[in-house]
Amino acid sequence: MGSTLNDYTVKDALLFSQRMMQLSKAFWKSIEKDWEQWIKPYDLAINEHHILWITYYLKDASISEIAKFGIMHISTAFNFSKKLEERGYLQFFKKENDRRNTYIQLTEKGKELLLKLFEDYDPLQNSVCKEALSLQHVYGKFPDMIEIMAVVRNIYGDDFIGIFERSLERIEKDFVEEDGRLKKGG
């Protein structure tokens, strides 16, 4: 069969692609809406919140790290960071041993904002979380989405996934009490 690439056909690939295009658009649009809803009281854009969050868990971050882990263009990362600096949530600095790159770190005000946002988090206001509860009931845990994880790992690389996993560990360490409640007050 001239159409066979190893052991799949162009049809298999096309149907998979079409499925992923429609599914991931639908899924992302819901995530995006929840995310916007969550940060709206603080007048933040998704990219801004993402920058604060990355800067928090990396301690300090270069603009190119922000762009990489936030999946945004360098110029987007820079422009949103500037806006956050103007609002007093983070500051730019240079490192002694690396004068070429610009780094950013959170201010106290930035850390407080991030903590406040975690405090505000309400699973039942989050449609993706709410609609994943039927899976949680069936399996006794929220889905891991290991297939997507595998594809994202192949595309973005091991260090992307490594940092991603570490960011989740930081939430557990810094924002969650031992009994699973969220910490209150900063």
Residues in 129-148 at the binding interface with its own copies, rule: CB under 8 A: 129, 131-137, 140-145, 147-148
Q: How many CB atoms lie within 10 A of CB 78?
A: 19
Distance between first and last Cα of the chain: 64
What does DSSP assign to residue 184? -
Residue 74 found at the interface with its own copies (CB under 8 A): no
* Distance from C-alpha of 98 to C-alpha of 13, rounded to nearest angstrom: 45
Number of residues that bind its own copies (CB under 8 A): 78
Where on the phi/psi map is residue 140: left (φ > 0), alpha (ψ -120 to 50), or beta?
left
Residues of this chain, 84-123, that bind its own copies according to CB under 8 A? 118, 121, 123
What minimum distance in Å lies between the beta carbon of 9 and its own copies? 3
What minimum distance in Å lies between the beta carbon of 44 and its own copies? 14
Best CA proximity match to 145, nearest among 56, 31, 43: 31
Binding mask 5-44 for its own copies (x = CB under 8 A): xxxxxxxxxxxxxxxxxxxxxxxxxxx--xx---------
Q: Which is nearer to its own copies, 99 or 141 (CB)?
A: 141
